[in-house]
Structure 1
């Protein structure tokens, strides 16, 4: 049976061979902890980590390599940012297209009585009117936290415009780039982003267990670490170092994962982000056009390739999305995601709650043959209905 992987919004697969090779090379020929020794292998690991910080800072036009903090995933990054920054009495604004990695920490802080929260409703196609963000601002508003693109519909949200609003009202701006990092250009300075959270295992083509955030000096001044421990620096004192990145990096880094992440980002630079985007857009267009011909097909989102990522959410009338996903996998070897996709507010916004949807998410290594095969499979599933 042919195998077609279309769940790249969850994690990209396959990875470039260089990612695997880099991780194996590190584990085989280096393997030492960075910043924990003066011997050559430890120094090699330190150089690897520093080079990766430089690549990430360059990719996102950040304030500097030392401002790049590594974590195990974007959920950890967002929690560290919000729990470390937000103070009692703050009012926070977010959107209705957020992933639970944003909504749940915010709800937790709200339940603790620390913050108050406003969730700005997006339109039925997942798009956001920036005026609604501005209208939600009150005297206690201190920050906006939002995704760059929906993991459900792929809708790209206007972070540059929101960033300008944040600057106008002196608000902190935290961005979740899980669905866009590596495929859509992000300029931290141009978008006035204070903290950009990223994950390594999606568009950056690295392994699971990698991620981080980039924090500017303004946000750093008001953000405290939520973890403390060994950093390999200032070991003679029993308080956490106050300088970046050690302030936020306690314990042993996933250096093998960082080696893979470095290779993934180098792959992106070599291919070109624009070329990756063009390839995925071409396939998305073919998928949309093919699926739109199927009777009873409901397609969600902006349906504009310039306004969304590589993700397409659909349903077939009178069919459970989990049954569609099961048949795609069981009969055709096509791997997709069904259900609520960790974004219940997103499904309420587009009108698919509580049933959910079937989500197709294309990656750089998919082909036009994959798309044609998938469209034909969906046509046969609809006929059997």
Structure 2
């Protein structure tokens, strides 16, 4: 199969990822932080070194504020719902938000009466930043933005947004789900206060892993309460980090795989243009030459993540994806991609879009086969 659904979950993984997971599962198996025997200490060591590695890679000053969750969605929920909200508070987000940000925001809107402004992003950076600045109120308590659209791959100017936010002393939360592993991210240098990311996308780590990283003194109250392996005499949740925001047994095999994935990322993050970026440009250029194809998002020369969104004639996107799967053994994703605001912006709500997304393991030959398949599919529908 040609797997062009990397933006949903990467496949395959670097071999070291599975090896690290199997070792943690079969050779260690113990509960981190829940014992003084050597296996428990070894499990805890995996957790600690993964925090330190993430802290170094992503510029988070305190490794204890690198928090583990089962995915980026859980991390974003903790970041948003963990803030202290009051009626009349205000949040700024964008029309490119995934439901992992939009739905928690709508939840605090209903629960606390927090209002939300969704600023449209159309590629005009100066106008976009101007609208964000104009949307700031005295009641604004948070700016929450996706770093890149999971639908089109368009990249938002996070550093400039952070500068605007910091000037008004407003914390900024960044959803790096589509950029982690593809772009260099450094929280301190970029002015980011909170950043959430998954392990299983661009980092090429395992599913069931995600992180929330906090820079500075942001007070979050925990969404979950329970055992932390320490401070057990206290009936309340510990105030210490990371225990304050991590209850229950962590996914040690998954975190071991995540650590291996981050180490692999460090070795290949050497400044060259990634293979997946080149492939996305090749596919986009090829699609634009096929009559009947509509492409969405940044143009070929503009910055984008390795994602290409398009439609074929007036055919529903799900139908195109089904044809590619059943007749060509090509995996893509179609529909709304959990980002309905984006489709409202693109005017594609009724049929969604077809999304092809790439990783370092995809090849030029696969891109050529994909373009040939789209050419054939388009021609076949034109004959009907």
TM tier, smaller: over 0.9
Tell me the secondary structure at the aligned position of residue 217 of structure 1: coil
Partner of 1:59: 57
Q: Which runs of 5+ in 1 are unaligned?
A: none
Distance 1:223 1:49 in 2: 21
Give the direction of change, closer, same or farther, for the CA distance of 1:304–1:63 in structure 2 (3 Å limit): farther
Q: What is the Cα deviation at residue 114 of structure 1?
A: 3.5
Deviates more, 1:289-298 or 1:333-342: 289-298
Q: Does 1:231 align with 2:211?
A: no
Aligned positions of 1:256-335 closer than 5 A: 256-272=253-269, 274-275=271-272, 277-304=273-300, 306-335=302-331
String of CA shifts for 1:31-69, please: whole Å, max 9, x gaps. Answer: 111111100001111111111111111111111211100
The 8 Å contact of residues 125 and 300 in structure 1, kept in 2 or not, is answered as no
1:252 equivalent in alignment to 2:217: no
Question: Relative to 1, partners in 2 of residues 1:129 and 1:304: Cα closer, same or farther, differing over 3 Å?
Answer: farther
Distance in 1 separating the partners of 2:128 and 2:39: 52
What is the rounded CA distance, in whole Å, between the counterparts of 1:246 and 1:102 in structure 2? 24
After the TM superposition, which segments of 4 or more aligned residues of structure 1 sit over 3 Å from their partners? 124-128
Are 1:183 and 1:274, in contact at CA under 8 Å, matched by a contact in 2? Answer: no
Closer, same or farther: CA 128–356 of 1 in aligned 2, 3 Å: farther
User: Would you say the 8 A contact 2:85–2:112 is kept in 1?
Assistant: no
**1:75-128 superposed Cα distances (whole Å, 9 cap, x missing partner):** 000101111114113200000000000001101111123311111111179997
Change (3 A) 1:62 1:132: same
Spell out the pairing of 1:117-266 with structure 2 (5 A cutoff).
117-123=116-122, 129-219=128-218, 222-266=219-263
**Gap runs ≥5 in structure 2:** none
The alpha-carbon deviation at position 354 of structure 1 amounts to 2.3
Q: Distance in 2 between matches of 1:191 and 1:354?
A: 37
Question: CA shift at 1:217, angstroms?
Answer: 2.9
Cα offset, 1:182, TM superposition:
1.0
Q: 1:317-370: CA deviations, max 9, x gaps?
A: 121111110111101100000000000100111221221000000111000011
Provide the secondary structure at the position in 1 that maps to 2:189.
coil
The structural deviation recorded for 1:192 is 1.4
Q: TM-score, normalised by structure 2?
A: 0.96
Structure 2 CA distance for partners of 1:128 and 1:209, relative to 1, 3 Å:
farther
Please provide the CA RMSD for this pair. 1.5
Q: 1:8 aligns with which of 6, 22, 26?
A: 6
**Contact 2:67 2:246 (C-alpha < 8 Å) held by counterparts:** yes
1:68 counterpart = 2:36:
no
Q: Measure, in 1, the Cα distance between the counterparts of 2:141 and 2:301.
A: 33
Q: Is the 8 A contact 2:343 2:352 kept in 1?
A: yes
Which residue does the alignment assign to 1:81? 79
User: Following TM superposition, by how much is the alpha carbon of 1:278 offset from its aligned partner in structure 2, in angstroms?
Assistant: 2.3
Relative to 1, partners in 2 of residues 1:305 and 1:274: Cα closer, same or farther, differing over 3 Å?
farther
CA contact (8 A) 2:94 2:121 kept: yes
The verdict on how the C-alpha distance between 1:304 and 1:160 changes in structure 2, with shifts beyond 3 A counting, is farther
Residue 365 (structure 2) pairs with residue 369 (structure 1): yes
Return the match for 2:39 from 13, 38, 41. Answer: 41
Distance in 2 (alpha carbons) for counterparts of 1:371 and 1:273: 24
**Cα 1:184/1:166, change in 2 over 3 Å:** same
Distance 2:57 2:30 in 1: 27
CA distance in 1, matches of 2:109, 2:213: 25
TM-superposed CA distance for 1:187, in Å, is 1.4
Question: Any conservation in 2 of the 1:127–1:155 contact (CA below 8 Å)?
Answer: no
